């Protein structure tokens, strides 16, 4: 008996005494409810999958650079490409180091003479021209600016390293002698 468009192979009664495909609570058939729920579930899965497919893959770690060293005695000192030590004698409390990381790293390892250094990390975005800027809503993060506080340490070899979160999984590092 195939009442209401259902057949016996795909539908069953809620109670044994009811015939196949009998209305449940007088509103809908049980088999139709399960089909509707299945269709809604598939549609939700497709929509969620589409959103994650639209998300861009994180760029690999491609650049690490010490940008500046700041101290009360010297103010801001720009660090040039290839510079291996500070020009100014920064020794004293409250030294800060600014490091730019382009790409996405797992977990930065930062130290001064082997002792861990703490700081903050701020996302960096890019204009369409490629110039870096602070991130605003809707902009794509291309890296991070780290501001690291040497917390009373006065001089030594500053090291910063990180490993890319995705292929090729490369590790990059930079170091600078701060005097």
| Position 15 confidence tier, pLDDT thresholds 50, 70, 90 | low
Read off the pLDDT of each residue in 69-96 and give the average, rounded to a whole number: 92
Are 170 and 119 part of one and the same domain?
Answer: yes
What is the total count of domains within the chain? 2
Domain limits for position 69: 63-178
pLDDT digits (tens, 9 = 90+) for 101-136: 999 998 999 999 999 999 999 999 887 777 888 888
Task: Look at residues 124, 104, 109, 101 and name the one whose alpha carbon lies nearest to residue 166.
Answer: 104
Q: Do 162 and 101 share a structural domain?
A: yes
Question: 102 and 122 in one domain?
Answer: yes
Q: What is the pLDDT of residue 38?
A: 65
48 and 95 inside one domain: no
In this structure, the answer to whether residues 123 and 161 fall within a common structural domain is yes
What would the DSSP string read from start to end of 8-39?
TTT---SSTTSPTTPEETTTEEHHHHHHHHHH
Q: Which residue has the higher pLDDT, 17 or 117?
A: 117
Q: Does one domain contain both 123 and 168?
A: yes
Asked if residue 112 and residue 136 are part of one domain, the reply reads yes
Whether 72 and 35 map to the same domain: the answer is no
pLDDT of residue 32 exceeding 60: no
Of 29 and 164, more confident: 164
The percentage of residues in the chain with a pLDDT greater than 70, rounded to a whole number, is 69
Contact (Cβ atoms closer than 8 angstroms) between residue 157 and residue 148: no
Both 97 and 171 in a single domain? yes
Asked whether residue 74 carries a pLDDT value surpassing 50, the answer given is yes
| Chain Cα centroid distance, residue 26 | 51
Q: What pLDDT is attached to residue 134?
A: 85
pLDDT of residue 4: 45
């Amino acid at each position: 008996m195939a009442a209401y468009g259902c057949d016996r192979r795909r539908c069953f009664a809620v109670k044994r005494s009811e015939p196949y495909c009998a209305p449940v609570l007088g509103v809908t058939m049980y088999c139709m409810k399960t089909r509707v729920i299945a269709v809604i579930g598939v549609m939700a899965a497709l929509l969620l999958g589409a959103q994650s497919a639209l998300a861009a893959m994180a760029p690999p770690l491609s650049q690490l650079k010490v940008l500046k060293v700041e101290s009360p005695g010297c103010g801001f000192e720009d660090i040039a490409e290839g510079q291996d030590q500070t020009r100014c004698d920064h020794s004293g409390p409250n030294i800060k180091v600014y490091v730019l990381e382009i790409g996405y790293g797992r977990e930065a390892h930062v130290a001064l003479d082997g002792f861990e250094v703490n700081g903050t990390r701020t996302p960096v975005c890019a204009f369409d021209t490629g110039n870096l800027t602070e991130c605003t809503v809707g902009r794509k993060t291309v890296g991070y600016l780290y501001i690291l506080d040497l917390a009373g340490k006065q001089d030594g070899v500053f090291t910063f390293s990180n490993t890319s979160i995705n292929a090729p999984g490369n590790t990059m590092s930079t170091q600078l002698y701060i005097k």
